[in-house]
Structure 1
Amino acid sequence: MKTSQYFSEVVQELSRNTELISDDEAEKLLNQMLESKKIFIVGAGRSGLIGKSFVMRLMHMGLDAYAVGETVTANLEESDLLIVGSGSGETKTLVAIAEKAKRLGGTVAAVTISPNSTIGKLSDIIVKLPGAPKEQSEGNYKTIQPMGSLFEQTMLVFFDALILRMMEKKGLDSNKMYGKHANLE
């Protein structure tokens, strides 16, 4: 196959995923984000990178948002939200962070393929995203893409859709948000 054919198939897979995501789950997460004093995002590997891009957009909206593990990350308190992006919901370091957030009185939300995972069971809010686990021999969701790529891409687009919905609710547009964009570049 040509690269353009692979690209087309990836886009079709993402398009099919949009119908498999619960608007109710997404709205519950969005409302919790708007009610929380601070928002923390954590993920491992590529999921972590996607989480950091989400934190950037939240900052552009004027929200107090942090990527867990960065030197400028604030402390989590009772009125705060931790969003864990994990396909498997079993990554040990992320489980430990979710457990600590619960002990500190924070709200935990999972964005995951696996709502019945350890992280899913720790979570107050779960948004189930479609995708194949890294070990594609598990589960019945099939993709042409390697490992967790479809989940990670779906999470990126889902987070961007949440931003658009939040912009709508807060009456923001891109021009207003641009005022918070980095200017030392």
Structure 2
Amino acid sequence: MGDAARIALYGVGREGLQIKGLAMRLFHLGLKASVVGDMTTPPVGKGDLLIVSAGPGSFSTVLGLMGEAKAAGAKTMVVTAQPNGEAAGRADYVLTIPAQTMADDRGARTSVLPMGSLFEGAQYVLFEVIVLKLKERLAISPETMRANHTNLE
């Protein structure tokens, strides 16, 4: 992630909320990160990375965006609970979170949390650890991160 020229991120529903949180923290680290669908998201191409979330393994929007990014020369990364899913099969990089999603919340329960809550919560923790590791690897100070935080709140 830290080597990408630009990083575009996308997720649907509550997974999308976690992806937006990651985009914000990547921006705080000084990386050129944006959320797909925002009016200010630049095009992606060679040297860029598209990070998508597809907990259940696939969403039509995710697959479409991955196709566009790859056609433009960008690399793709999928965050999923289904490493053998369609999105993972098309991705350059796969981050697997072995947690219940809405696709497998019926029958024998693996979590007391409803639908995809376990996966979404695990995303939050994973993303915070990723940010911590990137912060260390890129030698970014807390002061630098704070300087990149908005003052329009």
Tell me, yes or no, whether TM beats 0.5. Answer: yes
How many residues are paired up? 152
TM score, norm. by length of structure 2 = 0.94
1:11-53 Cα deviation digits (max 9, x unpaired): xxxxxxxxxxxxxxxxxxxxxx122100011100011111111
Identify the match of residue 180 of structure 1 among 144, 148, 151: 148
Gaps of at least 5 residues in structure 2 are none
In structure 2, the partner of 1:137 is: 106
In structure 2, the partner of 1:147 is: 115
In structure 2, the partner of 1:122 is: 90
State yes or no: 1:169 paired with 2:146: no
Contact 2:101 2:118 in 1 (8 A): no
Identify the match of residue 78 of structure 1 among 46, 49, 58: 46
Identify the match of residue 56 of structure 2 among 73, 88, 92: 88
Contact 2:100 2:111 in 1 (8 A): yes
In structure 1, the partner of 2:17 is: 49
- Which one has a bigger Cα radius of gyration? 1
1:93-131 Cα deviation digits (max 9, x unpaired): 111111111111110111100111111011011111011
Cα distance in structure 2, aligned partners of 1:104 and 1:118: 20
Q: Judging changes above 3 Å, is the alpha-carbon distance between structure 1 residues 145 and 75 closer, same or farther for their aligned structure 2 residues?
A: same
Cα distance in structure 1, aligned partners of 2:100 and 2:142: 33
- Which 4+ stretches in 1 moved above 4 angstroms? none
Gaps of at least 5 residues in structure 1 are 1-32
TM score, norm. by length of structure 1 = 0.78
Cα distance in structure 2, aligned partners of 1:184 and 1:145: 35
Cα distance in structure 1, aligned partners of 2:109 and 2:139: 37
Contact 2:101 2:117 in 1 (8 A): no
Q: Name whichever structure is richer in helix by fraction.
A: 1
Contact 1:51 1:85 in 2 (8 A): yes
Q: Judging changes above 3 Å, is the alpha-carbon distance between structure 1 residues 74 and 141 closer, same or farther for their aligned structure 2 residues?
A: farther
RMSD over aligned Cα atoms: 1.4
Q: What percent of counterpart residues are identical?
A: 34
Cα distance in structure 2, aligned partners of 1:132 and 1:177: 33
Q: Judging changes above 3 Å, is the alpha-carbon distance between structure 1 residues 98 and 141 closer, same or farther for their aligned structure 2 residues?
A: farther
In structure 2, the partner of 1:159 is: 127
1:58-99 Cα deviation digits (max 9, x unpaired): 111110001001111110111100111110121111111111
Secondary structure at 1:34 match in 2: coil
Identify the match of residue 103 of structure 1 among 46, 50, 71: 71
- CA shift for structure 1 position 141: 6.7
1:156-185 Cα deviation digits (max 9, x unpaired): 110110000011111123222101110122
